[in-house]
Amino acid sequence: MANFDITDPISFLKEQMMETLRLVTDPELYINIIDLGLVYGIDIDDSKKLVNVKMTLSSSYCPMGESIVSAVKNCIDGHYAGYVTSVALVWDPVWSYDCITEEGKRLLGM
């Protein structure tokens, strides 16, 4: 997760949105996408109320990819009225088990 930057006026909002995304779970693993390390960051244009979530999937062939992307959009749009969310799927850096947080590893029994 990103560090809070007191010089960035929307840093707290970014952190809130990251925490909100813990509500989105991988439909196969039943672990939230934050603890799985799938979300790389959030960019917000507060004047235009646009949110761009930069994330990846565990594989480019993930059968639940569209479902996860839709859940991310619906989660942010549903919790932050007036904001419009887009999701940028990126493949660099490639996701690996090293991306999983300690909590995610605990939940997976690793």
- Residue range 87-106, pLDDT digits in tens: 999 999 999 999 999 999 99
Q: Which is it for strands 39-45 and 50-55: parallel, antiparallel or unpaired?
A: antiparallel
- Residue range 72-92, pLDDT digits in tens: 999 999 999 999 999 999 999
Token representation of residue 29: 């693993």
Helix or strand (DSSP H, E) at 88: strand 84-89
Domains of the chain: 11-93 (3.30.300.130)
Q: How many CB atoms within 10 Å of residue 94?
A: 11
Half-sphere exposure of 96 (CA within 13 A, CB side): 4
Position of tokens 């479902």? 67
For the chain, the average pLDDT equals 92
Q: 52 near 88, Cβ under 8 Å? A: yes
- Residue range 35-68, pLDDT digits in tens: 999 999 999 999 999 999 999 999 888 889 999 9
Share of the chain above pLDDT 70, in %: 95
